Structure 1
Amino acid sequence: MLRVTRFLLILALVVLAAVVVVFVLENLQPVQLTFLGWQSPQWPLVLFISLAFIAGGLIGLLLSVPFRARARVRIAGMHSELTRFRKENDALRDKSLTDHA
């Protein structure tokens, strides 16, 4: 089963690499972008698309930081609460055993 999973992963990576190579080769023409009166130098289109993709990923990661931090705090609180409940449960079990003995 592990071999099949590994093979499928390698196959997916090879297909993805082939798609990226074709994408790069199809988008090598130089373009100049204009935004709010600012004009960029002429660079290959694939460079602008790649930069936009990377910038979007970084912005997404930065925006997720507060949510992940809040989730970590909640998990830590729940973990301490679980520990407290386990101790309380053990104490009640021990008390119940000593009461019936």
Structure 2
Amino acid sequence: MLAPIWDTNQYCFLVKGEIKAMIAEYGSPTLFLTLSCAEYDSADIAQYLRKVNNAPQSYSISRLCTEDTVSVSLQFSYKFKDFFNIVILQ
């Protein structure tokens, strides 16, 4: 009777039962993310690449990124770890 009313014990048991049934039917839930580092728009990555590679200011961000893909990947990894620690773990 009180199951349709949010935040009642009956509602919580109903929702919990639905979730348990979904897990039994489909398996454990997973999180899947598709991320892009937007390296061509990142001033931080451009500054880092210019510093590490001693590149002149006249080099475009796209040129810097294509010439040093390993550093771009590392910077993206660092940014993702920071994001994960701040948003997901806290």
| Structure 1 and Structure 2 fold alike (TM over 0.5) | no
Higher helix share: 1
**Category of TM-score, reference length = shorter chain:** under 0.3
TM-score w.r.t. length of structure 1: 0.25
Larger-Rg structure: 1
User: Which gives a bigger RCO, structure 1 or 2 (Cα 8 Å, sep 6+)?
Assistant: 2
TM-score w.r.t. length of structure 2: 0.27
